[in-house]
Structure 1
Amino acid sequence: MLLLLPPSETKRRGGSGSGLDLAALSFPALTEHRRATLAAVAELSRDLPAAARALKLGPKSAADAALNVDLADAPTMPAIDRFDGVLYESLDAASLAAPARAWLGRSVVVSSALLGLVGALDPVPAYRLSADSRLPGLSLGRHWRAAQTELLAGVDGVVLDLRSEAYAGLGPAPVRADSAYLRVVTEGADGRARALNHFNKAAKGRLTRALAESEVAPASLDELLAWAESAGFVLRRGAVGELDLVVEQP
């Protein structure tokens, strides 16, 4: 099983790794794409005020542009611990036992605008870049889409895509019987399902944690649905190519 997660715009700082090593990242087929993105970010970062504007950073977060100045030598930590925000707080990967973290390493991939698809335990630096960021001479959509789509098409087994639409657009998952895009919905009094926005991230984090703790390895979406029912999740087929995770409105 491969679980695709979105990144978070905010990142935890620091790390014990001694610098970004592209050879240590999963999916070496993306190495040259990573080099190109890093070079474009380095060029943008020569003028930090301009970089902050290009990255759409407001006054409170403008200083984050400086994170991109020396990415090659910046300290690293596992991607699943680097990313912050609601989904990752709900997942709380740092508190998982070793077998569950090993499952994350085998089964979870995070979609990064800077580095493309990275494994959950891949060592990555703190940075600031979004799916819609503008880089000099490089369109992130055109840059990542073909390479990542081809990579995901070659993945065997169940693929469950928990990414936001913006990050899914940087490399759509394959359209096939054992692949699905997850939507988090709630049901109103009229029985109709409605998509959740902010609160969908916490639900995705809880689902990811439960999968890791169970060390699930479903051979099909039907097996995944059966596991979800046994684990107390309301997960069901939605529109074509989608699964709905039904939660109560907070």
Structure 2
Amino acid sequence: MWVLLPPSEGKAEGSTGAPVDLGTLSLPGLTAARERMLTELTELCSGDPEKAREVLGLSEGLRGEVARNAALRAAPARPAGEIYTGVLFDALGLASLSAAARRRARASLLVFSGLWGVVRVTDRIPGYRCPAGVRLPGTGTPAAFWRGPLAEVLPAEAGRGPILDLRSAAYAAMWRPDADTARRTVTVRVLLSRIVNGTEQRSVVSHFNKATKGQLLRSLLEAGPLPRTPAKLTGALRDLGWRVEESAPGRLDVVITDVAP
């Protein structure tokens, strides 16, 4: 089973250790594309810092991200599961999973990235800033740049099991499953249910969408061996106490009544 995740825009920094080695990252078929994107980003950020800040859509307070990007090739790297921070990853809590759940996470989680394409949580990378929707001078938007390389590499690696797609729209645009893979793919939408004047009203959750997905994934990883079919995935989530409804083929609505993280 695969679980597809977005990255977090905020990222931790490595403190000590060797820099990234593209040849050691998972999915080696992406190495050439990663090298091209890394070159594009570091050259942009090594030039005019104001231009780089504008291209990357960074506020004045995030000016330091330009210098960090410029130094990516020499920056200390650490496992991607430690680099990515933010609401979803905080709710997932990789570091506090049981040993068995961590093994499942290492085998199943794929994090989509504007810079690296896709990484596993064990891949050693430095902190960086490269949202999927920015338009770089040479490669264009990462979302568009990665479609070709990922379409070539991912189908051959996808196996036969279900795919739980928890990506946000910008990162979902990097790879759309082909017909065979799409039949095994389940996307998730989080809805908040409230009773107003005796009638249930539902709304799409924004910020706590990420927290809910992190909590859902954590409970699934801790529960035991991951489901082998989409139907069993739906059943497993219900058994874990999640209120899930099949709103369309391949789409689950997770209905919550509380937005507390």
TM over 0.5: yes
| Off by >6 Å, runs of 4+ in structure 1 | none
Provide the residue aligned with 2:154 in structure 1: 152
Equivalent residues of 2:194, 2:257 under 8 A apart: no
Matched AA of 2:238: E
TM value normalised by structure 1: 0.94
Between 1:79-88 and 1:179-188, the stretch displaced more is 179-188
Provide the residue aligned with 1:122 in structure 2: 123
- Structure 1 residue 137, shift from structure 2 partner: 1.0
Between 1:26-35 and 1:70-79, the stretch displaced more is 70-79
Provide the residue aligned with 2:251 in structure 1: 242
Equivalent residues of 1:147, 1:171 under 8 A apart: no
Matched AA of 1:28: P
- Structure 1 residue 151, shift from structure 2 partner: 3.1
How many Å separate the matches in 1 of 2:151 and 2:245?
A: 25
How many Å separate the matches in 1 of 2:105 and 2:29?
A: 21
Provide the residue aligned with 1:18 in structure 2: 18
TM value normalised by structure 2: 0.90
Identical columns (%): 36
Matched AA of 1:30: L
Is there any run of 5+ residues in structure 2 with no aligned partner, and where?
none
- Structure 1 residue 185, shift from structure 2 partner: 1.2
Between 1:187-196 and 1:99-108, the stretch displaced more is 187-196
Equivalent residues of 2:144, 2:173 under 8 A apart: no
SS in 2 for 1:30: helix
Cα deviation code 1:8-61 (max 9, x no counterpart)? 110012244411011221111111110110010022112222211111111111
Between 1:47-56 and 1:102-111, the stretch displaced more is 47-56
Between 1:147-156 and 1:65-74, the stretch displaced more is 147-156
Between 1:199-208 and 1:137-146, the stretch displaced more is 137-146
Cα deviation code 1:159-216 (max 9, x no counterpart)? 1110000100011234533212111112243445421111100001101211221243
Provide the residue aligned with 2:184 in structure 1: 178
Provide the residue aligned with 2:37 in structure 1: 37
SS in 2 for 1:67: helix
Cα deviation code 1:191-248 (max 9, x no counterpart)? 4542111110000110121122124321111111111111111123122331111112
Equivalent residues of 2:227, 2:233 under 8 A apart: yes
Between 1:192-201 and 1:26-35, the stretch displaced more is 192-201
Provide the residue aligned with 1:202 in structure 2: 211
How many Å separate the matches in 2 of 1:214 and 1:91?
A: 14
Provide the residue aligned with 1:211 in structure 2: 220
Provide the residue aligned with 2:109 in structure 1: 108
Change beyond 3 A, Cα 1:240–1:150:
farther
SS in 2 for 1:237: strand
Aligned residues: 250
Cα deviation code 1:41-85 (max 9, x no counterpart)? 022112222211111111111211111112122111111111111
Provide the residue aligned with 1:93 in structure 2: 94
Provide the residue aligned with 1:66 in structure 2: 67
Equivalent residues of 1:185, 1:247 under 8 A apart: yes
Is there any run of 5+ residues in structure 1 with no aligned partner, and where?
none
How many Å separate the matches in 2 of 1:181 and 1:15?
A: 36
